[in-house]
Amino acid sequence: MASAEATQDQVLRSEWGGGRSPFAVGWPKLMMWLFLVQDTLTFAGLLTAYGFVRIAAGRWPVQEEIFNLYLVGFMSFVLICSSATMAVAVAASRAGERDRALRYLLYTVLGGLVFLGCQVYEWSHFIHEGARLFNNPWGVPLFSATFFIITGFHGAHVTAGVIYLLVTAVRHQRREIQPESVEIAGLYWHFVDLVWVFIFVLLYLL
Amino acid sequence: MSEGEGGRPHGGYRVYWVVWFWLLVITVLELGVVLVHVPRTLLAIMLVVLALMKAWLIIAYFMHLKYERLSFIYAVITPLFLGVILFFALVPDALDVLRLR
């Protein structure tokens, strides 16, 4: 009896112990993390399908000749910068520096808008050269399909992120939300950057 | 870098600019290995390793996962192995399709 109690006591004090908050994070943040985990698997599914299609096709257009790698590099640069400004905004919000938090949130939004602008330019250029969803001049129909679906899905995430950050900035300035909400918006934004790391490497560089 | 209450980093915003700098360095390296035309397999390995390094920097420092509880880190990292399993389960099929062509 005594030893059973001792064991339970050990479990509760361990990393895996239950209690009110086993992970030591609030539930909104936990829910955002769970959403991001499942969204990661969505992108993993898309990128795996891309890998399947590309291996099975046997040949693949040379991306360097079709995309402007310097533009794509610049897009990566912009997204990394916006992720850094977002991290600063989260820290500033937690430190109670409201003006700095607002300023850096707006820098982050600006970064997102520049990224989207570049993507619009890239898509229109690609379409102008004759790329369609299931048809393109480079001989592998699924080449443009995977490109449009994967970058389009990511671009939709960026668009949603820009709106989410604008709402967060306004509500934070009106003191309607806690610093934790800014941190949660930040998690989403860093995730968008994280996905781009893999899209950049797998779709454009490899 | 000193650790504050709850394992969070104190010491202002410096850590974020350091991480930002290294992310940019890795991005330039990625573009560099593409432009110098190394062999295909080596290129793929290098790019994946560099991408994983960037992912680790973003998750650990920007998303603060490094400062969370160990149980929480396991809870969010473990499901990602499903993605790895998915990839390696499908590659043999893709190679079969290629061979049948």
Mean pLDDT in residue range B14-30: 94
Say whether A88 and B43 touch across the interface (CB within 8 A). Answer: no
Number of domains in chain B: 2
Residues B23 and B36 in one domain: yes
- With a cut of 70, say whether residue A18 has pLDDT above it: no
Domain boundaries, chain A: 35-205
Residues B6 and B32 in one domain: yes
The ipTM assigned to this model is: 0.87
Q: Residue A99, class by beta-carbon neighbours within 10 Å (0-12 exposed, 13-18 middle, 19+ buried)?
A: exposed
Residues B29 and B18 in one domain: yes
pTM score of the predicted model: 0.88
Q: What torsion, rounded to 10 degrees, do the Cα atoms A122, A126, A132, A134 define?
A: -90
Residues B59 and B74 in one domain: no
Residues B20 and B49 in one domain: yes
First-last CA distance in chain A = 61
Question: Six-digit token pair at B48?
Answer: 């994946």
Which residues from B are below 8 Å from A36, CB to CB? 76
- With a cut of 60, say whether residue A46 has pLDDT above it: yes
Ramachandran angles phi, psi of A174, nearest 5°: -80, 5
Residues B81 and B100 in one domain: yes
Q: Does A191 touch chain B (CB under 8 A)?
A: yes
The answer to whether A80 and A193 are in contact (CB under 8 A) is: yes
Residues B11 and B43 in one domain: yes
Chain segment B63-98, per-residue pLDDT in tens: 999 988 888 899 999 998 998 899 899 989 999 998
Residues B62 and B73 in one domain: no
Share of chain A above pLDDT 90, in %: 72
- With a cut of 50, say whether residue B2 has pLDDT above it: no
CB nearest B101 (choices: A53, A58, A69)? A58
Residues B101 and B78 in one domain: yes
Chain segment A136-151, per-residue pLDDT in tens: 888 888 999 999 999 9
Q: Higher pLDDT residue, A8 or A158?
A: A158
Residues B6 and B55 in one domain: yes
Q: How far is B34 from chain A (nearest CA, A)?
A: 6
Residues B90 and B53 in one domain: no
Residues B84 and B40 in one domain: no
- With a cut of 70, say whether residue A9 has pLDDT above it: no
Q: Which CATH class is domain A35-205?
A: mainly alpha
Mean pLDDT in residue range A154-159: 97
Q: How far is B44 from chain A (nearest CA, A)?
A: 6
Domain that holds residue B45: 1-68
